[in-house]
Structure 1
Amino acid sequence: MRPIINEIKWGDRRSRFSRLFLPVDYDYRSDIGYGLRSPPGTDRRSEIWTDMATRTEKRESEADTQAFIPPRSPLRVMKLLEELAGEPRGLPAVRLLERMDLPKTSLVSLLRALEEARYVVKHKGLYQLGEAALRLSSLISVSFPFPHSVHDLLMDLMTRCNETAMLATLSEDGQAAVYVDKVECQRAIRFAGFIGARRPLYCTAIGKALLAFQDEAFIKHYLKYNKFEPFGPDTITDRGKLEREIEKIRKEGVSVAIEEMAEGIGVYASPVFDGLGTVRAAVSVAAPAQRARAMSEEYSQEVKSIARQMSLLLGWKPNGDTPDE
């Protein structure tokens, strides 16, 4: 009498089981599926299960190494909304086609779906953000208010440089930089700033970064009606020299002030832009003058990198008009 079965493979996997184990002698029971029987004097079962495990591991390994390809539709929707957010007056369909690089039928389908959900509206032939998109924008702004929304990046700057990092905005009267956030390093000798403190625009790195990227009328008015008194050994008090300094900052994207505001202090700063391309703030890294001079290249690159990340977080879109673009 033939033995019944030594191993079980249930009926819902019959076809796969048959392909894998045809070389091996097996019995069949319709009530339980396929059963495997080892030939006399061999232990083929262990070899087969080892082979199965090897094949499975290989397939899983190949799947893990394949690059993840995200679905395109959600990304297209977000890109379309970003394009419209950058053009408050709206865009015609032909411009969207150029920027999105999509087939016309795909773009029409996206716009139709977004119009029905009120994320997009069409007015006089121009597509604009609708009330649903504006409501979403408002919710995001409330959830991540400035400057809280960029605090983690300020912390990152402090960690990278191991120096105090500061964030400032232009004062309401347009005459000073006002510190709105800071992260101090733990070094024994370090720069210590105070949130709410005002600093002159013309003799601080963070102030010059704010000043340099204002509009031309603002800069001309500031240079014409302000007196430039010395605060530190290297304060710029000459109007012509300050104009050249502003042009240099606009070109390089980084402002430097070593012993301009006070003796023994060196600071590097860069502007932070918002979604409209206007300067929203400036971020800086401050250190004792000796360290600031020795680490000039590193601090300049780090502060520019963090300023760029902050700008992107605030909705800024690179367009070639700002430094390093």
Structure 2
Amino acid sequence: MTVLIVAEHDGAQLGVATLNAIAAAQKLGDVHVLVAGAGCLNVAEQVSKINGVAKVLHADAAHFAELLAEEIAPLVVSLAVPYSHLVAAASAFGKNIMPRVAALLDCSQVSDLTEIVDGKTFVRPIYAGNAFTTVQSDEPKLVLTIRASAFPAAVAGSLNAPIEAVAATPAQNLSRFVGRELTVSDRPELTQARVVVSGGRALGSAEQFNALLTPLADALGAAIGASRAAVDAEYAPNDAQVGQTGKIVAPELYFAIGISGAIQHVAGMQDSKIIVAINKDPDAQIFNVADFGMVGDLFEIVPELTEKLKSI
């Protein structure tokens, strides 16, 4: 079997989640990677150096520049014939493109995989991560999205896979790129951070959210996350949201501060190696998944914890 992975990138650097997808896809067969974009040959060259990649397909056209799903999906479909599996990371990028690919091919999609048993059998979470189901399909072609946190990242090696130029599909002109607003930060990217400090609605305001969590995150070299309630209350930006409708994280250490532990939030962080919860409610649901819990006033506990960390 041969697998085609759709690479996520920003025109200069390959998206980290694609490395996890490459590592996962090696269990399915030979791995080919599609790098589409405008002037992104350097990204294709990065991909060619990754262990496990047998071939890189490079499609270059102006209408691929922003990786719009309406433009990329037809390209993937045009290349799909020799491949048994079409794969992307289960990021916003993959979730946007791959269902379109599956619909155009009229084949099944299996989403958010956490384990690959064999080429037809997969494990994925259901009920917001409270249970895992094993699914099987006998279809000759499958579309898959991979939960990055469930697999290691592929690494660069000493060999270069061949890069093959492929013909671009015509522009669909069904959508247009208007603009992009990015949060610029020196902190680790949320889904890749070893330590995550997340806050909830109990922090009370954006000012208090930043005043308490930023020093703690600085002391730990951590990324800052938030519950959906905190994001909805505008304490934190949308890209900080952790949970079923946000980002899935699995750091070595996760702080849940003032977070009640709703099932939707837990679905995004329950695979963390160590979970520390701080909440004044001893019956808060977050303590059901926490390895360590501190019951008390977070406005007293967090500053004290921060000072002790700074003194180490």
Q: Which has the higher strand share?
A: 2
What is the TM-score with the length of structure 2 in the denominator? 0.24
More relative contact order in 1 or in 2 (CA 8 Å, sep 6+)? 2
